[in-house]
Amino acid sequence: EPEVTQTPSHQVTQMGQEVILRCVPISNHLYFYWYRQILGQKVEFLVSFYNNEISEKSEIFDDQFSVERPDGSNFTLKIRSTKLEDSAMYFCASSEQGPNQPQHFGDGTRLSIL
């Protein structure tokens, strides 16, 4: 069964450093998403991406965050200057045909900010 893959599985970074989280969505999917889950809390939407542009973003997704699809397979989330409160599990997801379709999640990147 095709799956969303994310790298790295765990990233440890000093506060203030830039970090890039990488995702390879399912190959025939057209819609891409990033979510985060702080330990012990619910999953929170960050951003949706379609046709090489952001479709929707949450209030969490401020100027420190950016997304990019640099080639035909990768989808990245960049945090420019990390803060302690950015520590969380970050999940990438993709859906095939539209934003109302089920989203399939990768196994996440655990980001730890020191």
Partner 1 sequence: RKEVEQDPGPFNVPEGATVAFNCTYSNSASQSFFWYRQDCRKEPKLLMSVYSSGNEDGRFTAQLNRASQYISLLIRDSKLSDSATYLCVVNAFNSWGKFQFGAGTQVVVTP
Which residues here bind partner 1, judged by CB under 8 A?
A: 31, 33, 35, 41-45, 48, 50, 55-56, 58, 89, 91, 95, 99-108
Our measurement of the distance from residue 41's CA atom to the centroid of its chain's CA atoms, rounded to an integer in Å, reads 17
For 20-60, give the secondary structure using H, E and C: EEEEECCCCCCEEEEEEECCCCCEEEEEEEECCEEEEECCC
Our measurement of the distance from residue 52's CA atom to the centroid of its chain's CA atoms, rounded to an integer in Å, reads 15
CB of 109 to partner 1, least distance (A): 11
CB of 102 to partner 1, least distance (A): 5
The rounded distance, in Å, linking the Cα atoms of 91 and 17 is 20
CB of 81 to partner 1, least distance (A): 25
Of 43 and 114, nearer to partner 1 (C-beta) is 43
Of 14 and 52, nearer to partner 1 (C-beta) is 52
Of 13 and 89, nearer to partner 1 (C-beta) is 89
